[in-house]
């Protein structure tokens, strides 16, 4: 049965019909009562998420909406009411107006909601956490046009990232580990070592923002599918793939500041190349099927323990 399915999928992709079976499978999962979070996480990890279903799927997995579809309308109305209340409060305090950029509005709403809005906002963007949040909400605006959904998806995704703060230093070390494995002639690793790249490049910021503002949407959305599905460490392979893909121009640069500037302005047409390479490396080094003993016998992909 598996071989037959793989044959059909390969044939459909060759004739230009890509992901048909996966899309049908996802629609079946989204019609279950209640929604099964483990199965949906597994889908995100194993298959490409159709863009038409991404916003809804993310809302369920990030707990913007509950697993019981009968409650979706009520919860959606409550989310909208809370959004409107936060927006009106900022307007009443003269903190925003109709000319305020959406990412700035959403940042201030998040800060108000969490009791963190500073009295003096002139230096608000000097806080790296605020810059990360605005980069996330700006990227999220390319996933959905609904302003309320943008806000709630951004806040939930940002909070999901905060849970992994403690492993960021380890992840930077893993970039060097896997790059040495994949850099065939070793020239890139040697060049980065001479430039002291691991001391100066903003790996931690890249991981904290999940490459928002570094890689373009919708390419990056495919990586965020995996993160939301449960594999935060795929970001290690995004960094490795980015450096390998841009190896030639990086080798031509004499200073670390040139490398930093170049990596902050990656051409959009490199987005898919980097993401495809990252997923390939992740499958090669970073994901593992493990049985779930508490929920039947279905396999779930988890991050492999680094060796």
Does the pLDDT of residue 190 top 80, yes or no? yes
Place of tokens 């508490």: 294
218 vs 17 pLDDT, higher one = 218
Average pLDDT over residues 162-172: 93
pLDDT range class, residue 287, cuts 50, 70, 90: low
**pLDDT per position as a tens digit, 204-228:** 999 999 999 999 998 999 999 999 9
Which of 279, 19, 283, 36 has the alpha carbon at shortest distance from 5? 19
Does the pLDDT of residue 130 top 50, yes or no? yes
Which of 251, 111, 112 has the alpha carbon at shortest distance from 188? 251
The one-character DSSP state at 109 is H
Calculate helix-pair angle for 271-281, 234-245, nearest 10 degrees: 130
Which of 276, 282, 153 has the alpha carbon at shortest distance from 219? 276
Neighbours of 302 (CB within 10 A): 16
The pair of structure tokens assigned to 240 is 């490795």
226: CB partners within 8 A, 6+ apart: 44, 45, 234, 279, 282
267 vs 59 pLDDT, higher one = 59
Measured distance CA(61)–CA(48) in Å, rounded = 15
Does the pLDDT of residue 292 top 80, yes or no? no
pTM: 0.87
């Amino acid at each position: 049965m598996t071989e037959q399915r793989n044959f059909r999928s390969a044939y459909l992709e060759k004739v230009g019909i890509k992901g048909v079976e996966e899309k049908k499978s996802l629609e079946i999962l989204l019609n279950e009562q209640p929604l099964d979070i483990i199965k949906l996480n597994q889908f995100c990890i194993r298959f490409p998420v159709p863009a038409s279903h991404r916003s809804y799927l993310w809302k369920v997995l990030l707990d913007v909406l509950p697993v019981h579809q009968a409650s979706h309308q009520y919860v959606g109305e409550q989310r909208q009411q809370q959004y409107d209340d936060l927006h009106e409060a900022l307007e009443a305090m003269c903190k925003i107006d109709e000319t305020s950029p959406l990412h700035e509005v959403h940042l201030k709403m998040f800060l108000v909601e969490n009791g963190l809005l500073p009295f003096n906002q002139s230096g608000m963007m000097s806080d790296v956490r605020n810059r990360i949040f605005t980069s996330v909400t700006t990227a999220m605006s390319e996933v959905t046009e609904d302003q309320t959904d943008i806000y709630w998806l951004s806040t939930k995704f940002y909070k999901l990232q905060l849970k992994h703060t403690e492993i960021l230093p380890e992840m930077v070390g893993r970039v060097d580990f896997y790059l040495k494995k994949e850099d065939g002639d070793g020239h890139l690793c040697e060049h980065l070592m001479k430039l002291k790249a691991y001391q100066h490049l903003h790996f931690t910021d890249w991981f904290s923002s999940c490459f928002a503002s570094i890689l373009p949407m919708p390419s990056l959305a495919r990586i965020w599918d995996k993160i939301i599905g449960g594999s935060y460490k795929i970001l290690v392979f995004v960094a490795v793939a980015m450096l390998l893909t841009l190896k030639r121009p990086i080798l031509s640069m004499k200073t670390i500041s040139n490398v930093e500037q170049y990596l902050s302005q990656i051409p959009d047409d490199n987005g898919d190349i980097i993401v495809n390479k990252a997923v390939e490396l992740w499958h090669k080094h970073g994901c593992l099927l493990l049985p779930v003993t508490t929920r039947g016998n279905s396999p779930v992909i988890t991050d492999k323990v680094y060796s």
